[in-house]
Structure 1
Amino acid sequence: MTAVHDTDLLLHLTEWPQHSHIDPHDLAAHAAAPTVIDGRGTLNPDTWRKAGWIYRALGRP
């Protein structure tokens, strides 16, 4: 959680499954501006948006 403490942007750049299953609700509480860019397309956009994140992905709406 300390990796996102007071951040404005989270870059998700791996396909490793342990990072794709992180709970976005837990992370949102630590981010200053919960915005994520999913560079690998492995995160579930609906889950992240429902958790309060601005979600963007390469090649996805």
Structure 2
Amino acid sequence: MGDPDAAVHDADLLLHLTEWPEFSHVNPHRLAAQTVTPRLIDGRGTLNPVTWHDAGWTVRAIGCP
């Protein structure tokens, strides 16, 4: 699946586990509207948590407080 919109459709939680550009360089505002609950766990530590939080996401990153 290479479509971030389809990947988050009706999701309660997003696990970010890849550095593929189609998933690393997405618009968090657009994706938040597709989810049931905009919650993100960044398993790669490559997403900007402030940007995602400002878009309405609850963000946790592996290895970060």
State TM-score, norm by structure 1. 0.92
Query: Shift of the alpha carbon at 1:18?
Result: 3.2
CA-based RMSD: 0.9
Match of 1:38 in 2: 42
Match of 1:23 in 2: 27
- Between the aligned residues of both structures, percent identity stands at 66
The one-letter code sitting in structure 2 at the alignment partner of 1:56 is: R
Q: Which runs of 4+ in 1 moved over 2 A?
A: none
In structure 2, runs of 5+ residues without a counterpart are none
Match of 1:2 in 2: 6
The answer to whether structure 1 residue 14 and structure 2 residue 18 are counterparts is yes
In the comparison of the two structures, how many residue pairs are matched?
61
Match of 2:59 in 1: 55
Query: Shift of the alpha carbon at 1:40?
Result: 0.4
In structure 1, runs of 5+ residues without a counterpart are none
